[in-house]
Amino acid sequence: MLTIARTQFPVLFAILGLLAAFAAGPARGDENHDGLKITPKLAQELADLPGKEGLMITVEFPPGYVSEPHRHEAHTFVYVLEGRIEMQVEGGPVVTLKPGDTFYENPQDVHTVARNASKTKPAKFLVLLVKNKGVPPVLPAQK
């Protein structure tokens, strides 16, 4: 069970914002609708990086899931645990990632493609964001 200290309430609200952002749009939903599942793993202020915090989550895309374009305004590290996902940042190639593969987004990137490459199997990946405190982990694609 994840325990969140009172000082981590802003991070909890950011996680809730992440859930809401992923749940928006016709091709997206939460675990109760389209099977999307986001599980907080760790939220931590980074004492030696003033104004920064780390947020670690797992994301499970159901078969055929497609995310709307978005951005993170964070250093975003992705590690694929199960299945295959397709990722792209604006101006870059679409890449298909399998278990053990990684993906990086810088704070200025717009995440144009995030989808499960399979129509029949789920995909699961670990995400670590290093971001400014108080900034939601998922923002609209427009800057």
Choose which CATH entry (2.40.50.140, 2.40.50.100, 1.10.3720.10, 2.60.120.10) describes domain 6-138. 2.60.120.10
Question: Using 50, 70 and 90 to split pLDDT, how confident is the model at 91?
Answer: very high
pTM of this structure: 0.77
DSSP annotation of 68 reads: P
Q: Give me the DSSP letters along 78-117.
A: EEEEES-EEEEETTS--EEE-TT-EEEE-TT-EEEEEEES
Question: Using 50, 70 and 90 to split pLDDT, how confident is the model at 36?
Answer: confident
Residue 35 pLDDT: 82
Q: Where are the domains of the chain?
A: 6-138
Mind listing the pLDDT tens digit for each residue in 62-84? 999 999 999 999 999 999 999 99
Q: Is the pLDDT confidence value at 3 over 60?
A: no
